[in-house]
Amino acid sequence: MSASVLSTFMRFTMQQTGAERALACDTQLTLIDSANLTLSGALPEELATPLRQAMESGEIGVGNNAVIDSTQAPTTNTNFNNLRGFVIIPIQGIGAVYVDRPVRKGVVSREKVIKLAKLASSLNLTPDLSEIDLIQQFEML
């Protein structure tokens, strides 16, 4: 059941944010679903770490793929065309959804992220929601 919830919420979040890529994982960081990402086996650490942090804290994760550590700069230089903003929305007891899109296409509004997080907090209470149900609940927030 939770795999279905994660997949449905991931696709809904992609639509709402205009994200190009997404993934959904359970609380053990097992990949449940993905869109436009080529992943096999364990999640790479650059995805696993912020997903784990968001699930442990219960807080929304927001960031980008640029590396701050200057010692990594020669191998991780990210030019503006490759800069991506991401949002991670944890779903208590179920997992988390990660979405990203190029920064040049704009960032997702704070209001939209907060609404998505509020919607996610209700998913463990009503896990059998369809995408239409999600839309209706989202519009009521």
The ranges assigned to domains in the chain are 2-140
Rounded mean pLDDT, 100-122: 91
Q: Is residue 64 within 8 Å of 83, Cβ to Cβ?
A: yes
Positive/negative CA dihedral, 90, 12, 28, 103: negative
Which residue did the predictor score with more confidence, 66 or 103?
A: 103
pTM: 0.85
Q: How many whole angstroms separate alpha carbon 43 and alpha carbon 46?
A: 8
β-partners of residue 50 are none
In words, the CATH class of domain 2-140 is alpha beta
Nearest Cα to Cα of residue 115 among 7, 5, 3, 9: 9
CA atoms of 50 and 62, how far apart (whole Å): 9
In this prediction, residue 7 carries a pLDDT of: 92
State pLDDT tens for residues 6-65. 999 999 999 999 999 999 999 999 999 999 988 777 788 888 999 999 999 999 999 877
> How does pLDDT run across 52-97, given as a tens digit for each residue?
999 999 999 998 777 544 455 455 555 666 788 899 999 999 999 9
Report d(CA 14, CA 100) in Å as an integer: 8
| pLDDT at site 70 | 45
| Interval 114-137 mean pLDDT | 83
**Statement: residue 128 has pLDDT above 80:** no
Predicted pLDDT of residue 71: 53
